[in-house]
């Protein structure tokens, strides 16, 4: 032990100027590796490349299809563009493949399904369309199919390039490549181009519940979008055993994370995909993938061909082609059942380089083993420290507990301060300052956590300068404390059945590795040398956590622009920052205590936080950028007309109706102020049944703006007409059957309410919801706009025949 420094002597601190170099190292690592990998896309292949790579996905072909599809303009269900032009375009492409394909080996069966029904009790759909192409080998005997789905309809105004035209184009190119190949293909592949997704997943439901091939479809690859291009992420997967993940692991550009699946299940992402129908009603296992980058343009007119990055086609094309080939020949497909024992998995990619996946049982074992190993290493380290310092183990444990208390307090204060800022920003009307300039988040919400993680330990070390432990050992106690906190989090989340616990386990794992390395090499005992294994061990988790944080932000930042104004969007952004600041920097910030002028260095992070707060409230923090990050709100020229039972008009008013989609009603308000009049909420509404609903409906959205105008809207299509076609006295006492027909535009909503004296006892809709108080139906028609007919059997106990017994709005 002769080489050790004598105790009670402080180790020399490193010069302060190493601190900025240390910081720069991590920033460079983030910019050079993480930003590169998050945005990495493959080189798109052109028609020239087809000669050298005949079995590859050719982006140029898919690009042409996408251009033609988006040239049709918005493809809303019921419109000519969707029901005729898009259907013709896609069918033409399929027939072209059929004519040019390898006819010695393959068959393509084409079907156009026009389907009607009821979905989720109150969604009525009529004549929506699905285009189907089944690719199979001529000698095929397999009855188990792979299904690949995308939708060709779009939201009003949107050309739907990324959502979901690009996926349609990808599927057509995959169909072409596969049909021109020499095989093999053991299991048929059904390509489903569905024509009604945006109105609530109607067409995929129609396929799953009514098409003759649906029960043979065992595995689904669902392709959709919540952004414009980038890499498509695998964000939901369910299967019997891990066989599906084994195949996904072999794709060229893996991008996946089970954390997203969990966030999606918790409802933090306000959308749903067709995957739900295939899984819940078709019992299929499979993959749900979507574009998530540039969510600002999602469902807007800016989701255009021009904005969509074409290299994304290559990325998705390579991945889905690889999956189609491998699943189409997978031995596991031979014995597979719908509604088998489905499992969730832990899965994630590392920087797009490779996949990691394991079962939930393994997850439990791994989380516990890693935590136990880390705990043992910490205990051994404490014993060594006690021996080295010639202090009792109890004294060291007491010191460790104190350190853990300070570390916990630092984390809590950092988190609280960050969250406090999110409230302040909201209260002063400056929420969403990072909406366009995302980098503001770093100063606003990360730096406060960094500051508290540094300043309290620094103060404590200064205060206990004279304490018998050398600086290096006391810093190691802080690192151990942080590890202990992460162990507690890992174990708690694991037992709460939260799959994302694995993220904390990863942090524990890499620190435990450094600690074990230090114990073996005895570097923990040599001044500042313990820092080397710690720094090396932090490179992988730093890359991983900043990579995940990066794409969680590019998912959630645009989401705050469209999930209503009810909650403070800064809070969500601050919470993500707190979690990732803890994961990213918890083992790095204590290392700053090795540098001279520690407190000045740590104060810099507070300085950055303050600077960014000032910037945020200046013009630089204006949330929106025209076209790139636009504000969303809905403006409708509306007319509400109430009739009495005798057909006379009870009230008739027109208005400009505006409701916000984000926190900034104040900015949306400027739009309505341009109409040079005050706004208010309709008072007619207060007395009418439609406004008593719990759910927000038209004219009843909180904080909506309502500007009465004299002019009724010029409606370019037929108005809805509800006609009572028959009134029949039934055999059951006091019961009358009312038959109605409804005609009108492709999208209608109606509301049915029996008055107190009456009761609906039967009708043509779903009978399981007869007892519900709110009966709001949506009605969508696709190709088929015949009159919609329905009946209601009403039991009436009032003798007064003039009493109103039923209201239909």
Q: Which residues bind Zn ion (CB under 5 A)?
A: 163-164, 224
Return the residue matching tokens 């798109």: 44
Nearer to Zn ion, 443 or 558 (CB): 558
692: CB partners within 8 A, 6+ apart: none
Give the shortest CB-289-to-Zn ion separation in angstroms: 12
Nearer to Zn ion, 63 or 164 (CB): 164
Report the alpha-carbon distance of residue 713 to residue 371 in Å, rounded.
65
Nearer to Zn ion, 199 or 795 (CB): 199
List, in sequence order, every beta strand (DSSP E) within 766-805: 776-781, 788-796
Report the alpha-carbon distance of residue 452 to residue 412 in Å, rounded.
9
Give the shortest CB-345-to-Zn ion separation in angstroms: 25
Return the residue matching tokens 């988006």: 70
Give the shortest CB-537-to-Zn ion separation in angstroms: 41
Nearer to Zn ion, 260 or 458 (CB): 260
What is the β-pairing status of strands 189-194 and 106-119? unpaired
Give the shortest CB-313-to-Zn ion separation in angstroms: 16
Give the shortest CB-147-to-Zn ion separation in angstroms: 17
**The two structure tokens encoding residue 408:** 């916990």
Report the alpha-carbon distance of residue 702 to residue 567 in Å, rounded.
12
- Cis peptide upstream of residue 164 (ω within 30 degrees of 0): yes
How crowded is residue 138: how many other Cβ atoms within 10 Å of its Cβ? 12
Nearer to Zn ion, 150 or 525 (CB): 150
Give the shortest CB-49-to-Zn ion separation in angstroms: 29
Give the shortest CB-56-to-Zn ion separation in angstroms: 26
Nearer to Zn ion, 313 or 479 (CB): 313
What is the β-pairing status of strands 721-729 and 735-743? antiparallel
Nearer to Zn ion, 164 or 688 (CB): 164
Q: How many CA atoms lie within 13 A of 191 on its CB side?
A: 28
What are the φ and ψ backbone dihedral angles of 265, each rounded to 5 degrees?
-70, -30
**The two structure tokens encoding residue 292:** 């998530």
Report the alpha-carbon distance of residue 299 to residue 644 in Å, rounded.
38
Nearer to Zn ion, 158 or 403 (CB): 158
Give the shortest CB-239-to-Zn ion separation in angstroms: 23
Is the distance from CB of 644 to CB of 625 less than 8 angstroms?
Answer: no
Give the shortest CB-295-to-Zn ion separation in angstroms: 12
Phi-psi region of 299 (alpha: psi -120 to 50; beta: other; left: phi over 0): left
**The two structure tokens encoding residue 676:** 């040079």
What is the β-pairing status of strands 145-151 and 217-225? parallel
Give the shortest CB-163-to-Zn ion separation in angstroms: 4
Report the alpha-carbon distance of residue 397 to residue 385 in Å, rounded.
10
Give the shortest CB-197-to-Zn ion separation in angstroms: 5
Report the alpha-carbon distance of residue 354 to residue 37 in Å, rounded.
12
Nearer to Zn ion, 277 or 546 (CB): 277
Nearer to Zn ion, 224 or 653 (CB): 224
Nearer to Zn ion, 164 or 288 (CB): 164
Return the residue matching tokens 């061990």: 537
Report the alpha-carbon distance of residue 226 to residue 299 in Å, rounded.
8
Give the shortest CB-90-to-Zn ion separation in angstroms: 16
Q: Which of 694, 695, 690, 668 is nearest to 679 (CA)?
A: 668
Report the alpha-carbon distance of residue 716 to residue 701 in Å, rounded.
25
Give the shortest CB-224-to-Zn ion separation in angstroms: 4
Q: Which of 44, 152, 147, 161 is nearest to 92 (CA)?
A: 152
Nearer to Zn ion, 83 or 224 (CB): 224
Is the distance from CB of 769 to CB of 775 less than 8 angstroms?
Answer: yes
**The two structure tokens encoding residue 41:** 């896309």
Angle between helices 531-560 and 569-585 (to 10 degrees): 170
Nearer to Zn ion, 223 or 507 (CB): 223
């Amino acid at each position: 032990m002769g080489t050790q420094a004598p105790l009670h002597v402080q180790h020399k601190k490193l010069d302060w100027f190493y601190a900025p170099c240390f910081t720069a190292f991590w920033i460079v690592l983030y910019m050079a590796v993480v930003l590169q990998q998050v945005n990495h896309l493959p080189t798109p292949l052109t028609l020239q490349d087809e000669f050298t790579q005949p079995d590859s996905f050719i982006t140029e072909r898919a690009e042409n299809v996408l251009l033609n599809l988006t040239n049709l303009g918005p493809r809303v269900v019921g419109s000519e563009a969707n029901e005729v032009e898009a259907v013709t375009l896609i069918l033409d492409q399929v027939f072209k493949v059929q004519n040019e394909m390898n006819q010695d080996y393959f068959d393509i069966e084409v079907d156009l399904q026009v389907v009607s029904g009821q979905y989720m009790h109150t969604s009525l759909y009529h004549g929506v369309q699905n285009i189907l192409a089944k690719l199979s080998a001529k000698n095929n005997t397999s009855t188990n199919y792979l299904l690949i789905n995308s939708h060709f309809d779009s939201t009003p105004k949107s050309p739907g390039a990324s959502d979901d035209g690009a996926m349609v184009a990808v599927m057509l190119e995959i169909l072409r490549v596969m049909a021109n190949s020499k095989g093999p293909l053991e299991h048929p592949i059904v390509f489903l181009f569905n024509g009604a997704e945006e109105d609530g997943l109607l067409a995929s439901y129609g396929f799953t519940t009514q098409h003759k091939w649906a029960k043979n479809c065992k595995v689904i690859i669902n392709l959709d979008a919540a952004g414009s291009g980038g890499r498509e992420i695998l964000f939901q997967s369910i299967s019997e055993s891990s066989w599906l993940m084994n195949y996904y692991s072999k794709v060229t550009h893996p991008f996946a994370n089970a954390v997203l699946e969990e966030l999606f299940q918790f409802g933090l992402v306000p959308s749903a995909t067709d995957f739900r129908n295939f899984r819940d009603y078709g019992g299929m296992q499979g993959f749900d993938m979507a574009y998530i980058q540039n969510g600002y343009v999602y469902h807007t007119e800016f989701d255009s061909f021009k904005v969509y990055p074409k290299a994304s086609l290559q990325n998705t094309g390579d991945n889905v082609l690889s999956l189609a080939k491998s699943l189409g020949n997978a031995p596991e497909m031979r014995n597979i059942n719908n509604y088998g024992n489905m499992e969730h998995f832990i899965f994630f990619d590392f920087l797009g380089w490779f996949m990691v996946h394991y079962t939930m049982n393994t997850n439990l074992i791994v989380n516990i083993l890693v935590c136990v190993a880390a705990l043992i290493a910490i205990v051994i380290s404490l014993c060594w420290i006690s021996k080295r310092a010639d202090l009792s183990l109890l004294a060291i444990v007491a010191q460790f507990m104190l350190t853990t208390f300070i570390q916990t307090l630092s984390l809590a204060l950092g988190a609280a301060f960050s969250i406090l800022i999110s409230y302040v920003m909201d209260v002063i009307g400056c929420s969403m300052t990072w909406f366009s300039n995302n980098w503001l988040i770093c100063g606003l919400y990360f730096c406060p956590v960094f500051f508290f993680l540094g300043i309290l330990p620094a103060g404590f070390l200064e205060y206990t300068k004279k304490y018998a432990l050398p600086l290096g050992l006391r810093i190691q106690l802080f690192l151990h404390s942080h590890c202990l906190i992460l162990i507690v989090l890992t174990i708690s989340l694991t037992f709460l059945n939260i799959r994302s616990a694995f993220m904390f386990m990863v942090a524990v794992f890499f620190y435990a590795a450094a600690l074990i390395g230090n114990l073996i090499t005895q570097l923990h005992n040599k001044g500042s040398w313990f820092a080397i294994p710690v720094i090396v061990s932090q490179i992988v988790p730093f890359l991983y956590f900043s990579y995940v944080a990066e794409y969680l932000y590019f998912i959630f930042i645009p989401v705050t622009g469209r999930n209503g104004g009810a909650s403070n969007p800064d809070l969500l952004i601050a919470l993500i920052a707190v979690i990732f600041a803890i994961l990213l920097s918890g083992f790095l910030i204590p290392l700053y205590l090795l540098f001279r002028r520690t407190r000045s260095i740590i104060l810099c992070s507070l300085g950055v936080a303050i600077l960014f707060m000032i910037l945020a409230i200046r013009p630089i923090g204006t949330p929106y950028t025209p076209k790139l990050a636009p504000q969303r709100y809905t403006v409708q020229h509306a007319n509400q007309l109430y009739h009495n039972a005798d057909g006379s008009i009870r009230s008739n008013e027109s208005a400009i109706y505006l409701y916000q989609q984000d926190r900034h009603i104040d900015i949306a308000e400027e739009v309505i102020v341009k109409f040079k009049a005050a706004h208010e909420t309709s008072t007619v509404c207060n007395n009418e049944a439609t406004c008593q609903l719990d759910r927000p409906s038209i004219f009843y959205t909180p904080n909506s703006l309502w500007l009465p105008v004299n002019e009724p809207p010029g409606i370019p299509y037929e108005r809805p007409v509800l006609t009572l076609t028959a009134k029949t006295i039934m055999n059951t006492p006091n019961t009358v059957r009312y038959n109605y027909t409804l005609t009108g535009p492709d999208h209608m909503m109606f509301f049915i309410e029996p008055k107190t004296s009456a009761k609906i006892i039967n009708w043509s809709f779903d009978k399981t919801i007869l007892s519900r108080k709110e009966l709001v139906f949506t009605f969508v028609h696709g190709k088929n706009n015949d009159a919609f007919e329905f009946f209601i059997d009403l039991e009436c106990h009032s003798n007064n025949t003039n009493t109103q017994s039923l209201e239909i709005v």
